[in-house]
Amino acid sequence: MKNVDVIIPVYNEEGSIGLVIGDIPKEIVNEVVVVNNLSTDNSVEVAKRAGATVVDQDKRGYGNACLKGIEYVDAKAVKPDILVFLDGDYSDHPEELPALLKPIIEDDYDLVIGSRTTGSQEKGAMLPQAVFGNFLATSLIRLFYGFTFTDLGPFRVIKYESLKSLEMQDTTFGWTVEMQVKALKKGLKCIEVPVSYRKRIGVSKITGTLTGTVKAGYKIIWTIFKYL
């Protein structure tokens, strides 16, 4: 039985984090770690009541939250074999986790990306700018790294040792693509699995805002060229 830990970055997701944690198949997961990124709502209480371990990250940024989550599992006596990342806004379907774990457990893959592009999406779940950004980024990765990803999706699983070997750095929106291009550079075994995607609960912070989209888009393209 593989030791699987889950890391969920959270900034003001009180309306959704309880549902996310509730839908995670408990029988296959060891610990759910919610990284609280300076939330000003009740996200922490809701997450704790739902059975998660909550760690605080005082530096804003999606990447910073993920890095804090890794720091937490690094300090554990028993390290996980596999790490799962998903968002706290209930746009991912945690119950689909077994399908993402399968390629690692059965076929020794290193990194499995949940693709919203090849999976089923609720209408309006991914805004046009996010769809375009995804298409542009994955086209550039195919062009310059020679591998076809169809998404930079947040719902993903990776072998713990493989993640450690990537020495992740990005503190904001470049985190997901950094993991994918570094994995390709290192020759890790990567694969995608279709996942469902629905509209987030609560107000959009990134893709629904012009500034969020532009900042994320710039950082993603910059990261693709940084690791060439």
Ligand X SMILES: Nc1nc2c(ncn2[C@@H]2O[C@H](COP(=O)(O)OP(=O)(O)OP(=O)(O)O)[C@@H](O)[C@H]2O)c(=O)[nH]1
Interface contacts to Mg ion, rule CB under 5 A: 87, 89, 91, 200
| Residue 92 near residue 84 (C-beta atoms within 8 A) | no
Comparing CB distances to ligand X, the nearer of 68 and 159 is: 68
By CB under 6 A, the residues from 59 to 78 that bind ligand X are 60-62, 65
> Which residues have CB under 8 Å from 77's CB, separation 6+?
none
Indicate whether 219 belongs to the interface with ligand X (CB under 6 A): no
Contact at 8 Å (CB) between 224 and 144? yes
115 binds ligand X (CB under 6 A): no
Task: Give the span between the Cα atoms of 41 and 32, in whole angstroms.
Answer: 20
Is residue 206 within the footprint of ligand X (CB under 6 A)?
yes
Amino acid at 39: S
Number of residues near ligand X (by CB under 6 A)? 19
Picked from Mg ion, ligand X, none, the partner binding residue 9 (CB below 5 to 8 A depending on kind) is ligand X
Please, what is the Cα angle at 69 between 67 and 71, to 5 degrees?
Answer: 70
- Contact range with ligand X by CB under 6 A, out of 48-56, 70-78, 87-95, 220-228: 87-95
Q: Output 8 or 188, the one with its CB closest to ligand X.
A: 8
User: Quick one: how far is CA 138 from the chain centroid?
Assistant: 16
